[in-house]
Chain A
Amino acid sequence: MEKLRYERPLIKRLESEMPNKFGMKAEHFPKSHIDGVAVKDLLEEHGSPLFVISEKTIRNTYQRAKKAFSTRYPKVQFAWSYKTNYMDAVCNIYHQEGSWAEVVSGFEYDKAIKNGVPGKRIIFNGPDKTISDLTKAIQNESLIHIDHLDELYTIVELTETIKKRPRVAIRVNMDTGVYPMWDRFGFNYENGQAWDALNKIMASGRMDLIGLHTHIGTFMLSAKAYGVAARKLADLALGLKRKYNHDIKYIDLGGGFPSKNTLKGAYLPGNDTNPVFDDFAEEIASALLNSEFSPDALPLLILETGRALVDDAGFLLGTVISNKRSSKGKRNTIIDIGVNLLFTSFWYDHKISPAQEFTHFNEETTVFGPLCMNIDVIRESALLPLLNRGDHFVIHSVGAYNMTQWMQFITLRPRIVLIDMNEKVHIIREAETMDSFNKFENTPEHLKKFEL
Chain B
Amino acid sequence: MTKKRKLTIAVSGLNAVDSPGPGVAVIRALREAESFDVRIIGIAYESLEPGIFMHNLVDKTYQFPYPSAGVDAILERLEYIHSIEKLDVFIPNFDSELYPFIKLEDTLKEMGIHMFLPTMEQFEERHKVNLNEFGEKYGINVPKSKAIHDLGAIYSISSEFTYPVLVKGKYYDAAVAYNMEQVKTHFNKISAKWGYPIIIQEFVHGTEFNVTGLGDGFGNTIAAVPMRKQYITDKGKAWGGISISDKRMLELTDKFLSQTKWRGGFELELMKNKENEFYLLEINPRMPAWIYLAVGVGQNIPEALVKLALGEKVEPFTSYKVGKMFVRYAWDMIVDMEEFQIISTRGEL
Nearest opposing residue in chain A for B48, CB measure? A16
CB distance from A394 to the nearest CB of B (A): 16
Set of chain B residues within 8 Å of A68, measured between Cβ atoms: none
Q: Supply 7 A–B pairs (Cβ within 8 Å), ascending by A.
A: A16-B48, A19-B45, A26-B65, A28-B73, A265-B196, A267-B68, A269-B71
> At the interface, yes or no: A373 with Cβ under 8 Å from chain B?
no
Set of chain A residues within 8 Å of B103, measured between Cβ atoms: 272
| Secondary structure call for the B interface | loop
Set of chain B residues within 8 Å of A23, measured between Cβ atoms: 45, 65-69
> At the interface, yes or no: B100 with Cβ under 8 Å from chain A?
yes
> At the interface, yes or no: B171 with Cβ under 8 Å from chain A?
yes
Contacts A28-B73, A179-B149 given; does A21 touch B172 at CB 8 Å: yes
- Highest count of chain B CB atoms <10 Å: which of A21, A24, A266, A271: A21
Q: Are B15 and A19 in contact (CB under 8 A)?
A: yes
Q: Are B149 and A180 in contact (CB under 8 A)?
A: yes
Nearest opposing residue in chain B for A27, CB measure? B69
B binding-site residues for A, Cβ under 8 Å: 15, 17, 21, 44-49, 65-73, 76, 94-96, 99-100, 103, 149, 171-172, 195-197, 344
A26 to B63, CA, bound (A): 14
7 smallest CB-CB distances across A and B, nearest first, come from A23-B66, A19-B45, A269-B70, A265-B195, A21-B96, A179-B149, A272-B71
CB distance from A283 to the nearest CB of B (A): 14
Q: Which of A21, A25, A29, A265 is within 8 Å of B94, CB to CB?
A: A21
Interface string of A173-189 (1 = CB under 8 A from B): 00000011000000000
List A251-283 residues whose CB lies under 8 Å from chain B: 265-269, 271-273
CB distance from A261 to the nearest CB of B (A): 13
Contacts A179-B149, A265-B195 given; does A18 touch B46 at CB 8 Å: yes
A binding-site residues for B, Cβ under 8 Å: 14, 16-19, 21-26, 28-29, 179-180, 265-269, 271-273
| Secondary structure call for the A interface | loop
Set of chain B residues within 8 Å of A28, measured between Cβ atoms: 69, 73, 76
Q: Are B68 and A18 in contact (CB under 8 A)?
A: no
Task: Add 5 more A-B contacts to A14-B47, A19-B21, A268-B99 (CB < 8 A).
Answer: A19-B15, A19-B45, A28-B73, A179-B149, A272-B100
Q: Are B100 and A268 in contact (CB under 8 A)?
A: yes
Q: Are A18 and B15 in contact (CB under 8 A)?
A: yes
Q: Are A267 and B65 in contact (CB under 8 A)?
A: no
CB distance from A8 to the nearest CB of B (A): 19
Set of chain B residues within 8 Å of A19, measured between Cβ atoms: 15, 21, 44-46, 49, 66, 94
Q: Are B46 and A272 in contact (CB under 8 A)?
A: no
Nearest opposing residue in chain B for A178, CB measure? B149
Nearest opposing residue in chain A for B13, CB measure? A19
Q: Are A22 and B47 in contact (CB under 8 A)?
A: no
Q: Are B195 and A17 in contact (CB under 8 A)?
A: no
Contacts A14-B344, A179-B149, A268-B100 given; does A21 touch B95 at CB 8 Å: yes
CB distance from B18 to the nearest CB of A (A): 9
Q: Which of A14, A24, A180, A266 is within 8 Å of B195, CB to CB?
A: A266
Nearest opposing residue in chain B for A264, CB measure? B195
Contacts A14-B344, A266-B195 given; does A24 touch B68 at CB 8 Å: yes
Q: Which of B66, B70, B76, B149 is within 8 Å of A24, CB to CB?
A: B66
A16 to B340, CA, bound (A): 11
Set of chain A residues within 8 Å of B195, measured between Cβ atoms: 265-267
Set of chain B residues within 8 Å of A266, measured between Cβ atoms: 195
A21 to B72, CA, bound (A): 18
A265 to B15, CA, bound (A): 25
A21 to B48, CA, bound (A): 14
Set of chain B residues within 8 Å of A272, measured between Cβ atoms: 70-71, 99-100, 103
A22 to B67, CA, bound (A): 8
Set of chain B residues within 8 Å of A26, measured between Cβ atoms: 65-66, 69, 73
